[in-house]
Structure 1
Amino acid sequence: MQRIVKPKTQRAKRALENRAPKLIENTKTALFIKGGHTSELITQVLKDFFAFKKPDAVLFKRKNVLRPFEDQTSLEFFSEKNDASLFMYGSHSKKRPHNLIVGRCFDYHVLDMIELRVEKFKSLADFKNAKCSAGIKPCLMFSGEPFEQDYDYKRLKNLLVDFFRGPVISNIRLAGLEHVLHFAAVDGKIFIRSYRVNLKKSGSRTPRVELEEIGPSLDLALGRVRLASEDLFKKAMKQPKQAKIRKVKNISRDVFGTKHGRIHMQKQDLNTLQTRKMKALKRKSADAGKDEGMVKKKKD
């Protein structure tokens, strides 16, 4: 039986309410975990991605000896303790040098895990230019046929979108598009590039867009893959009925957001249509017309 926790303080009550299921989920928190043996390269990769995910991220400074593909118990414990559903685990060994494992959890159980080997890396510090502000929502771009055709790459694309998408927003201004993350899949390799958007004058209302690389820059190779079954994946993607947008009949909106409605009415009989009560518009009966005619003859 599941243990029911009753809060004793207001702080504990708020914490439980924050963890409770919601129609609109909170922004997902990511864990960045260092393995028992890590290289300087992997440590810097974790720090750079942690800078992108702040403030919705937790960086583990101590080393943790884990084997995610053999035993997921520790990862699930960290996920439940920190209320985080995303994780990135870095390690380094002779058999698997400069290794990254990116994954996500559902109901505090590991859902998907994909292993990536770092072959080439340039950090944020290697690019001597201005950076984007922390916590900004990035624009994600994917290019390459494997992201559309290969099943493993499709799930990797879905995982990367879930990992880097940032907070859910309803509107965004043009000047708010400052950061672009580009993922390219070519010849079995995955290339990650990060750009800063510069809006220049163009002589018109639409500015000229220039991309300036700010790092980090990674060349990755796909390794081991552990994906959830189709049934479990559909269950994790299921949305409550209250969160689904219901389509209302005969109501539409134009490009400016104006709401338009269409009304269906039966055919009206114009003979029975009530007009304004004016003396000139009143209908005259047949007898009234005869009486008026007799009066005119007498006067003549």
Structure 2
Amino acid sequence: MSVLQRVVKPTTHKGKKVLLKKEPQIIEGTKRAIFFKGRKTSEKVRNLLKDLYLIKKPDAQMLNKKNDITIFENPQPVEAFCKKHDSAMFLMGSHSKKRPDNLVVGRTFNYSILDMIELYVENYDGLQEFANDKITVGTKPCLIFNGTLWEQSDELKQLKSIFIDFFHREEVEAVRLQGLEHSISFNATPDGKICLRSYKVLLKKSGVRTPRVELEEIGPRIDFTLRRTKLPSPDLMKDACKKPKELKVGKKKNISTDALGTTHGRIHIGKQEINKIQTRKLKGLKKTMQEKKAAKRKALVESNDGVEKRQRAD
């Protein structure tokens, strides 16, 4: 027996705006994330959630209550959280005897779990352990993925995609040098560790126009190890990455680009009758009376010759 779902229509202008904002947009904004705790959470994981929440702000929301959730067995509570708070990403911290210092990061598509990866927090140094100036809230970080291991396994490829979506902010067409204030480095080691390091970019005087760049570690410093993973199917990932028709660039006719990036265009025009083009009438270009009479005599002679030729032919 099928149950019909009641469709709630907005009764106010504000309610209509809220529902329209939750609908799929042609140009999506920054992905929001929710942070919440499981049934039990260690102090290390709680501090880690707070630090990542501070980096993700203001596109994040922290839920303070504990939740009895086993996300890999029953993801429906997490999907309900994401739908309630209109968030596309989630970060869950938990702790148990079987899986201590556990962290689950994942994404949703159409309010259903798209993918998620479970990580073991092996080592952690928080923001408070680095006594230096921090970056401004809302700064767009520069993400660096070191090593070739990120492209050699499906789990690391998916984790790299999740990290990019998690720390990504608004789209920008150009970046000025002074805008590079924060850098986050991800390093995948052969022994299976994933090292996250956060740096503040300092521009020092160098005596030339280009400044000398120094990196100052500001935390957090985290070492992860992969545990369980839930990867999406190729068809589901294709639907999640599908672009709307309005953003697809159509092929333009008679336009090509060479190897150097120069755009060439071809224009098709009809036959030009130069003799009939109206030009500026200048007094010096006008025909004299003698030239006009000579042209009339020439036209008359040509017409008479034509008549004689026709008569001979007849």
Query: TM-score normalised to the size of structure 1?
Result: 0.87
1:234 alignment counterpart? 238
1:120 matched to 2:127? The reply is: no
Cα deviation for residue 110 of structure 1 reads: 0.5
Partners of 1:25 and 1:3 in 2: how far apart? 27
Identity %: 48
Cα deviation for residue 224 of structure 1 reads: 0.5
Partners of 2:199 and 2:51 in 1: how far apart? 14
1:130 alignment counterpart? 133
Q: Which of 137, 147, 150 matches 1:147?
A: 150
2:304 alignment counterpart? none
1:295 alignment counterpart? none
Cα deviation for residue 269 of structure 1 reads: 6.1
Partners of 2:26 and 2:220 in 1: how far apart? 35
1:77 alignment counterpart? 80
Cα deviation for residue 7 of structure 1 reads: 1.1
1:200 alignment counterpart? 204
The answer to whether the 8 A contact 2:255-2:266 is kept is no
The one-letter amino acid paired with 1:240 is: P
The one-letter amino acid paired with 1:7 is: P
Tell me the alpha carbon deviations over residues 201-252 of structure 1, each in whole angstroms, 9 at most, x when there is no partner: 2223322211111000001101101011000110111111102234545669
Within a 5 Å distance, the mapping from 1:103-114 to structure 2 comes to 103-114=106-117
Tell me the alpha carbon deviations over residues 90-115 of structure 1, each in whole angstroms, 9 at most, x when there is no partner: 01111111110000100110110101
* Count of aligned pairs between the two proteins: 286
Tell me the alpha carbon deviations over residues 63-109 of structure 1, each in whole angstroms, 9 at most, x when there is no partner: 11111100001001101100001001101111111110000100110
Partners of 2:244 and 2:11 in 1: how far apart? 30
1:181 alignment counterpart? 184
The answer to whether the 8 A contact 2:26-2:247 is kept is yes
1:287 matched to 2:294? The reply is: yes
Cα deviation for residue 266 of structure 1 reads: 4.7
Q: Which of 211, 216, 221 matches 2:215?
A: 211
The one-letter amino acid paired with 1:229 is: S
Cα deviation for residue 56 of structure 1 reads: 0.8
Larger Rg: 2
- Relative to structure 1, the CA distance from residue 186 to residue 204 in structure 2 (aligned partners, 3 Å threshold; closer, same or farther) is same
Partners of 2:271 and 2:285 in 1: how far apart? 20
Q: CA RMSD in A?
A: 2.5
Query: Which sits farther off after the overlay, 139-148 or 104-113?
Result: 139-148
